[in-house]
C-alpha cells in the first residue's frame, strides 16, 4: 500500500502480511483452530504446514520413487521428499510455531525448532505444562511460549495490529 | 512496470516502492507528520512502525501469556512479543528512521539503530541539536542526520524521484 | 492468500507457488513433459530453463559482442552470457531439477548441480540407471533421485498438495 | 504465471522480469536508448538509475539538510543521500550495467562496479575501445563487455527470450 | 604446514584439524569412548561437548544470576547460559555428532541437530535401531547414521586420513 | 589441542578460548574487575574493549585528520575512527558484554547491543536494577542479565569449564 | 608476521599462506607434480585433496556403516562420508583447482567446480584442449584455465610472490 | 593471549593483529612509508598489497598461460590472475586502504573500494585535495579520508592502542 492511501490511523497496523509455519504435532486439530480463529479476526496471515496426512507422509518416497525392502531407506526417501516442502516453508516464514503434543517422541518438531532458530526466525512454542522442563532449551530460544492455540492467534493479532484481547485490555 | 510501459522521462524516478521503518520516540506525532506529508507528495512508500500504544506495548506479554509477579519477567514477556514485530519490520525495510525525543532514555531506539546498521540498512536519524554529542556514534553510522520530520519526507522524495524541494532548488 | 479466505481444508496445500529450474539435457523433450503434465494437474509452479536452442546458446556471445578467431574465446563469450540467465534462475528457484541424458559429457549439468547444492537449493536429479555409479556424489546431494519426468511431476504435486498418485495411494 | 497457463513453447522465455540498474556516465543519452529500444522489443525489464540531474545530485545534501561552508562536507552530505538510492537499487538488481564515458574520472562508476561484483550481481560493462586497458580489471569481473547501448538491449533480449538479433542469427 | 615440508605421500591425509561437537545424551559414556579411541588412533580432532554435569546444567542460571520461584524461569535462565556455550561450539565445528539414548525426551538433541543442519554443518547421528522411524527426518539430514561410538571414530579416521578399518579393508 | 593429548576428564572444559568484548560504561572500573578476576581464575578468555580514554576517544578524529570548526563534524570524524576498532572487535567476538552505568545517555552502548544482536553474538548485559524497565528490550535480546562484574566472571567460568561458584554449588 | 619484522622489500610477497584444494581426476599423478614443484619453489601453500584411493573411496560407507544389497545405497553411504571431507575442504580453501582427465565422466569434478563457484572461491581449471568446448561453462567461471600442473604452480607462485617464471619474464 | 597473562593496563590495547590491505596507486612509495613507520611504532599489523611490479602485473596472464594476439584477452588473462590475489586479500582484511595518486585513471582502485565497501570492510581513503570532488562517493563510504601515509599510520596506532600522536595529544 502506498503512503497516499493510508491515513495515520492505519499506521497502528504493521501493514504487512505474516508468513506463519505451523510445525509439529499432527494428531490434534490445533492448526485448524488457529487458521479458523485468525480468519474470523480478519488477520492478514498466510499459514503453512507440513503434510499432515500421516500415511502419505510416511510412504511418499516409496510410492513415487519405488519400493525399498529396508525400512531405513523406505523412511529415508520419504523424509527427503518432505524436506523439500518443510525447509522451503521454514525459510520463507516470518514466524515458526512449533507444537509439542502428548504422544510420540516428536523429534521432528524439535529439529524444525532448531532449524528455525539457526535461521533467525521468530520462534513460538506451544505445549502443555508437563513438558516444561524437557523443552526448556527450546523455550529459551523462543520469543513466546504458549499453552493454547488461542494464545497463538492473540499473538498474531497483536503483532499485526497492536491490539490486545478485548476482555483483557489494560484499563 | 515493464520497460515497454515506461518512457525515458519516467526513468528519473527510481521505479521502486520504499519500505521505511519508523523507530523510536512514541510520545509525539512525528510519524503522523511524515506519513501525511509523504501521502500528500504522492510518494510510493510503505511506512511501518512499532506498536505505539504505550500501555499495550508494556503489557502485551502478560495479557496474552499470563501474569508475572516479578516486574522483570512481566517486561521480558512483553519485550519478546514486540520483538516479533520489530525485527521482522527492520529486516524487511530499505530505510530505518530512528527518532530520539526529549524524554526518557530511549535505549530501545539506539538498539534498533545498531540492529539496522549491522544488517546494512540505510539509517536516517532524527533528533534535536542538544543530543548531538551523545548520539555521535549513531549519527556516524547514518546516511542522514535530520532535525525535522519534513526533512525525512524531503529525503524520501529525493531518493524516490530525484526532485529537491521546490523552494530550494539550485538555480 | 489471507487466512480469512482459506478454510482449514485448504491448509493441506502448501499455499505457495514453487519456482523450479530445469537444468541439463537439451536434446530430448523431458522439460515439455514436465511442464505439460504439471499444467494438466493444475500445479502452481513456475518453470524456468536455460536457453535450449543449441546453436543460439553456442553462438550468442560472438553474435552480439563480435566474432572471435579463437574457439576458446568464442565459447567464453557465449558461456558468460548464458551465465547471466542461468545463475539468476538457480538463485531464485526453490527446486533445481538436473537431468543427465545419454549423450555428451554434460559437465554443465553437474556444475549447475554443485552450484545449486552450495546455495542450499532442493536438488532433484533425473537420470537412467546406467549412470548411477558415475553420479553417486550428485545423487547423494539430492533430495530425490528419479528416472522419469513423471516422477518429477508427482514430487511437485506431493510437495505442493500432499497428494500421492491416485493409483498408488496407500490403502 | 502458473504452469497451467503456459505452453511448452513459452518455456523458451525465462518467465522472469529482470531488474537492471544503469550505473555510470550521466552526460550522454545511453540510458534513454536502452530503455526505448527495450520497450520497443517488449522486454520485461524494470530499469533503474541513479539521479542523473547533476546539479540536484551534487547539492541534495545541503539543500535538504542545511548548508556547509566546507566543500568536503557539502559533498559528503550529498553523496550519502545518493547512497540511499544507489545501494538499494544495486542490491535489488539482477544485472548491473556500468557505462564509462569519455569525460571525467568516473570513479563513482568503478566503485559501483566493485560493489556489484562483491554482491555477486551479473555485471555488464559499456565503454569505448580506448579505455580497454585502463578498465581491464573491471572488464575481467564482468559477464559481458559492450561498446554500444544496442548490445546491452540484445543481451537483455537473449537473456530473457533466448533470441538472437534477426539479422545475425546463425544459419 | 607449508608445501615444502610435505611429501606427496602425506597428501593422503587431509592436513586439517577437525572440530567436532558431541551433542545429546549425557547419561552414558559414549563421549569418553570416542575421545579415548580417537586419541589412541592419533587423530587430529578437537572434541567439544555441552556441560554434561546434569545438576550444574540445570541450576547454573539461578546459581549465578539469582533464584527464581517459578520453575519456568529457573529453567529459562539456565538454558540461556548453556546456549552461550552450545551455540558457539556448534557454529565453530566442522562436524556435529548427535547421540540419542534410550531415556528421556532428548528434544534438546534434536534441536541441536536442526540448528547444525540449518548452518550447513556435517551432521552425524548416533542411535539404536529402535529409534529409526522416529528419527527419520534427522537421519535424512545427516551425512552418516551410526549405532556405535566406534563407528564415529572410524568415520573421523577416514575423513582425516582416507584409511579404512584394517580388518575391513577391501582386498 | 589434538585428541591424543586430552583425557576424557578434560572434555568437561570446552577446549576453546573465548573472545569477549566489553562494551559500554567507561567511567568506572568494571572492566578491570572482570579482567583481573578472570585472570585469577585462569580462564582462557581474550578480553577486548573500546578506547576508554574519554578525551582521546572524543578528539581522535580531529587530532589525526585535522580540526573542524563545527562540533558535529569534529565528533563525526572521531566516531568513525572509533568504529574501525569497535566493529571489528564486535564482529570477531563470541560474547559481547554491554554495561550500562548510572551516568550519561549511553546510547552508544545500546547501539553496540543492537549491532551485536543482529550479528547473532551472545549478548550479556550488566546494569543496576533501577534501569530494568528502560532496558527491557535489550535484556530480552540477551542470554544473561547481570548486576555485578563478578557475575560476568562466573558466567565465563561456567561457559568455559562447566563449573559453578564453589560456595553456591548445588548439593 | 607483524609489521615490525617486515622490510618493505618483503611486501612484494602477499604474506599469506594459501589453502588450495585439488579436486577431480584421481588416476594420474598431477597432484604429486604440483605438490612437489610447489615445495621445491618454497611456496607457502597447504594443499588438500579428496581421498584418492579409489577402492577406499567407493567402499568407505559400507565398510564402516554396514553392507547394502542395493548398489545405489552402497554408493550413497560412501558418497556422503566423502562429502564430510570434500565440502569442509572446499569451504575452507582460497583456491580450488579442478582437473578433468581423459577417462570417465568426472561429473563429481564438475559438481565440485559448481560448488566452489557458488561459494565465491577462486576457481582454476586444468584440462586438455580436446575438452575445451565441453567445459566452456566451467572455464567461464574460472579465474584461470590451464593445461599442465606446472602452470598451476606458476600461478600459485605469482599469486604469492608476484614473480613470473624466470625464463619468461618480460624484458 | 589468555586473560591470566594480561594486566588491566594492557586492556587499553585492543589485543588484536590487524590485517590491512594497501590498494591502489603503484607509482609512488606510499606503501613503503606506511610499512616502515608502522614497524618503527611496533604496531601489530600485517600489511598486504597487490603485485606492484607493473610489467609483471600486466603480463602475468600471457606469460604463464600462453600468448594472445588480441590485447583485450591479453589483459583479461592477467586481470583474472591478479584477481586471485586481490580478492582473497580484501576478503581477509580488517581495513582496506585505497590510495588515489596523480596519474592514470585508477579505476581499479575505485573498484577495490566498492568491493571492500560491499563486504563491510573498514575503508580508509588516501588522496590529495584536488581529487576531493571526484572521489566524494568513495570518501562517503569510508571511515577515514586522509592526505598522507603518516595519517594512515596514526589511525592504525590509535585503532590498535588508543594512543594519539604525542605532539598532538589533548592537554
Please, which pLDDT band fits residue H5 given cuts at 50, 70 and 90? very low
In H5-151, where do the E strands start and end?
18-24, 45-48, 95-100, 122-127, 144-146
E105 vs H158, more confident: H158
Secondary structure class of B33 (helix, strand, coil): helix
Rounded distance, CA E108 to CA E98, Å? 10
Cβ C64 vs Cβ D153: under 8 Å: no
With beta carbons less than 8 A apart as the criterion, state whether A139 and E137 touch.
no
Contact assignment for C75 to G133 by CB distance below 8 Å: yes
C112 vs G114: CB contact, 8 Å cut-off? Answer: yes
Nearest-CB residue to A151 (from B42, B51, B64): B64
What percentage of residues in chain G have a pLDDT greater than 70? 88
Cell, residue D12:
523458451
Q: Which three cell numbers stand for residue C138?
A: 550428485
Tell me the C-alpha to C-alpha distance, in Å, between residue A112 and each of A48, A151, F153, H23: 14, 21, 34, 45
Are B49 and B126 a contacting pair, CB within 8 Å? no
Question: Domain G3-163 sits in which CATH superfamily?
Answer: Response regulator (3.40.50.2300)
The answer, for E92 touching chain A at a CB cutoff of 8 Å, is no
| Whether pLDDT at F6 is above 60 | no
Q: Which chains are adjacent to chain G, needing at least 3 Cβ pairs under 8 Å?
A: A, C, E, H
pTM beyond 0.90: the answer is yes
pLDDT at position C102 is: 84
Q: What pLDDT, on a 0 to 100 scale, did the predictor assign at position E4? A: 40
Name the nearest CA neighbour of H45 among H16, H18, H23. H18
- The pLDDT confidence band at residue B15, using thresholds 50, 70 and 90, is low
What are all long-range contacts of B64-73, with beta carbons under 8 Å and residues at least 24 apart? B64/A144, B64/A151, B64/A154, B64/A155, B64/A158, B64/A164, B64/A165, B64/A168, B65/A144, B65/A145, B65/A146, B65/A151, B69/E69, B70/E73, B71/F132, B71/F133, B72/F132, B72/F139, B72/F145, B73/E70, B73/E73
Helix D149-161 and helix C54-65, axial crossing angle in degrees, nearest 10: 170
| Distance from C-alpha of E22 to C-alpha of E6, rounded to nearest angstrom | 31
Q: How confident is the model at residue D152 (pLDDT cuts 50, 70, 90)?
A: very high
Query: Cα separation of H115 and D141, whole Å?
Result: 11
d(C-alpha A7, C-alpha C10), whole Å: 34
Residue F117, burial from CB neighbour count under 10 angstroms (0-12, 13-18, 19+):
buried
Using the Cβ of E80 and the Cβ atoms of chain G, whether some distance falls under 8 Å is answered with no
The residue extents of the domains of chain H are 3-163
Beta pairing class for G122-127 and E18-24: unpaired
- Name which of G163, G7, F81 is nearest H31 in CA terms: G7
B155-169, E66-80, G7-21, G64-78: least confidently modelled range: G7-21
Mean pLDDT of chain F: 91
pLDDT score of A102 = 84
| A24 confidence band (pLDDT: 50, 70, 90) | very high
Q: Are B24 and B100 in contact (CB under 8 A)?
A: yes
What's the rounded Cα separation, in Å, for the pair H91 and H103? 27
Using alpha carbons only, how large is chain F's radius of gyration in Å? 18
What does the pLDDT look like over G91-120, one tens digit per residue? 999 999 999 998 878 999 999 999 999 999
How would you class H84 by CB atoms within 10 Å of its CB: exposed for 0-12, middle for 13-18, buried for 19 or more? buried
Please choose, from the candidates F162, F84, G108, the residue with its C-alpha nearest in 3D space to the C-alpha of residue H18. Answer: F84
CA nearest neighbour of E6 among D45, C68, G43, C16: G43
Residue C12 has a pLDDT of: 57
Task: Tell me the helices (H) and strands (E) count for chain E, helix number first.
Answer: 6, 5
Residue C104 near chain H (CB below 8 Å)? no
Contacts 24+ apart (CB under 8 A), E142-148: E142/E113, E143/G80, E143/G81, E143/G83, E143/G84, E144/G64, E144/G65, E144/G77, E144/G80, E144/G81, E144/G84, E145/A72, E145/G65, E146/G65
For residue B5, what pLDDT band results from cuts at 50, 70 and 90?
A: very low
Do B158 and B41 contact (CB within 8 A), yes or no?
A: no
Residue E117 has pLDDT above 70, yes or no: yes
Chain A residues closer than 8 Å to G70 by CB: 73
CA-based radius of gyration for chain G: 18
A130 close to E (CB below 8 A): no
Q: How confident is the model at residue B102 (pLDDT cuts 50, 70, 90)?
A: confident
Angle at G147 between CA G143 and CA G150, to 5 degrees: 90
Percent of chain H with pLDDT over 70: 88
Q: Does B71 have pLDDT greater than 90?
A: yes
Q: Are B and F close enough to touch, i.e. 3+ CB pairs under 8 angstroms?
A: yes
Beta-sheet strand order (sheet of C18-24) = C45-48, C18-24, C95-100, C122-127, C144-146
Closest CA to H124 of H160, H149, H92, H161: H149
Question: Which tens digits make up the pLDDT trace of F67-80?
Answer: 999 999 999 999 99
User: C135: which chain G residues are within 8 Å (Cβ-Cβ)?
Assistant: 105, 107
At B168, the pLDDT band (50, 70, 90 cuts) reads: low
Q: What is the pLDDT of residue H167?
A: 67
Does B2 contact D at CB distance below 8 Å? yes
pLDDT digits (tens, 9 = 90+) for G16-45: 689 999 999 999 999 999 999 999 999 999
Mean pLDDT for chain D overall: 91
Burial of C79 (0-12, 13-18, 19+ CB in 10 A): buried
Task: Tell me what the mean pLDDT of segment A75-80 comes to.
Answer: 98
Q: Environment class of residue F130 by beta-carbon count within 10 Å: exposed (0-12), middle (13-18) or buried (19+)?
A: exposed
What integer is the mean pLDDT of D110-139?
Answer: 97
**Chain-wide mean pLDDT for chain A?**
91
- Residue F8 has a pLDDT of 47
- Residue C16 in contact with partner chain A when CB distance is under 8 A: yes
Give H26-85 pLDDT, tens digit per residue.
999 999 999 999 999 999 999 999 999 999 999 999 999 999 999 999 999 999 999 999
Which region, left, alpha or beta, applies to residue G24 given φ > 0 means left and ψ of -120 to 50 means alpha? left
pLDDT tens, position by position, F7-19: 445 565 555 689 9
The three-state secondary structure class of G169 is coil
For residue G7, which phi and psi values (nearest 5 degrees)? -75, 160
Q: Nearest 10 degrees: CA dihedral of H108, H110, H111, H117? A: 150
Is residue G150 packed enough to be buried (19+ CB in 10 Å), middle (13-18) or exposed (0-12)? middle
- C80-110 pLDDT, tens digit per residue, is 999 999 999 999 999 999 999 988 789 999 9
Q: Where are the alpha helices (DSSP H) in chain A?
A: 30-40, 54-65, 71-91, 107-118, 136-140, 149-161
Provide the pLDDT confidence category of residue F55 given band limits of 50, 70 and 90.
very high
The pLDDT of residue A11 is 60
In E26-168 the beta strands, taken as DSSP E runs, fall at: 45-48, 95-100, 122-127, 144-146
Place of cell 582427465: G101
Which chain G residues contact residue E94 at CB under 8 A? Answer: 88
* Beta carbons of B133 and B139 less than 8 angstroms apart: no
Taking 80 as the threshold, does the pLDDT of residue H14 lie above it? no
Residue G141 has pLDDT above 70, yes or no: yes
Overall residue count recorded for chain C in this entry: 171
Label residue C54 by pLDDT band (50, 70, 90): very high
From residue B146, how far is each of B99, D72, G58, H171 by CA, in Å?
A: 9, 19, 65, 33
- Residue B11: pLDDT above 70? no
**pLDDT confidence of residue B104:** 76
Mapped onto helix, strand or coil, the DSSP state of residue B84 is helix
Contact G1 H42 (CB under 8 A): no
Residues pairing with A20 in the sheet: A47, A95
Is residue B144 pLDDT above 60, yes or no? Answer: yes
Neighbours of chain C (3+ CB pairs under 8 A): A, D, G, H
| Nearest C-alpha neighbor of H114 from the set B158, G120, D91, G15 | D91
Q: Is D158 on the interface with F (CB under 8 A)?
A: no
**What integer is the mean pLDDT of B44-61?**
96
Residue-wise DSSP of F24-90 = E--SSSHHHHHHHHHHHTT--EEEE-----HHHHHHHHHHHH---SSHHHHHHHHHHHHHHHHHHHH
Asked whether the ipTM of the predicted complex exceeds the cut of 0.95, the reply is no
| D91-126 as b/e: b if 16+ CB within 10 A | eebbbbbbbbbeeebbbbbbbbbbbbbbbebbbbbb
Closest residue of chain G to C111, computed from CA coordinates: G114
Give A89-92's long-range contacts (Cβ < 8 A, gap of 24+).
A89/A21, A89/A48, A89/A49, A89/A50, A89/C14, A89/C16, A90/A21, A90/A23, A90/A115, A90/A116, A90/A119, A90/A121, A91/A119, A92/A19, A92/C16
Judged by a CB distance cut-off of 8 A, whether residue E84 touches chain F is yes
Q: Please name the residue that has the C-alpha cell 563421549.
A: E31
* CB-based contacts of G167, cutoff 8 Å, min separation 6: none
Residues from chain H contacting residue G19 (CB–CB below 8 Å) = none
- What is the model's pLDDT at position C104? 76
Question: Which percentage of chain D shows pLDDT scores above 70?
Answer: 88
Nearest chain G Cα distance for residue C15, angstroms: 30
3-state secondary structure of A80: helix
| Averaged pLDDT for residues B127-155 | 97
* Mean pLDDT of all residues in H115-138: 97
Determine the straight-line distance between the first and last CA of chain E, rounded to whole angstroms.
33
**F112 or H171: which carries more pLDDT confidence?**
F112
Residues near B53 by beta carbon (within 8 Å), at least 6 away in sequence: A12, A162
Amino acid at each position: 500500500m502506498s503512503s497516499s492511501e493510508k491515513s495515520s490511523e492505519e499506521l497502528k497496523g504493521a501493514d504487512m502480511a505474516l508468513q506463519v509455519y505451523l510445525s509439529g504435532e499432527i494428531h490434534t486439530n490445533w492448526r485448524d483452530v488457529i487458521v479458523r480463529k485468525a480468519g474470523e479476526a480478519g488477520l492478514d496471515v498466510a499459514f503453512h504446514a507440513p503434510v499432515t496426512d500421516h500415511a502419505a507422509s510416511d510412504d511418499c518416497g516409496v510410492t513415487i520413487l519405488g519400493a525399498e525392502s529396508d525400512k531405513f531407506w523406505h523412511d529415508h526417501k520419504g523424509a527427503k521428499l518432505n524436506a523439500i516442502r518443510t525447509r522451503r516453508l521454514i525459510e520463507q516464514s516470518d514466524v515458526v510455531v512449533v507444537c509439542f503434543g502428548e504422544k510420540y517422541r516428536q523429534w521432528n518438531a524439535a529439529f524444525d525448532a532448531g532449524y528455525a532458530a539457526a535461521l533467525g526466525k521468530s520462534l513460538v512454542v506451544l505445549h502443555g505444562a508437563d513438558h516444561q522442563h524437557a523443552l526448556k532449551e527450546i523455550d529459551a530460544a523462543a520469543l513466546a511460549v504458549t499453552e493454547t492455540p488461542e494464545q497463538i492467534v492473540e499473538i498474531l493479532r497483536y503483532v499485526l495490529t497492536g491490539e490486545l484481547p478485548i476482555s483483557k485490555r489494560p484499563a
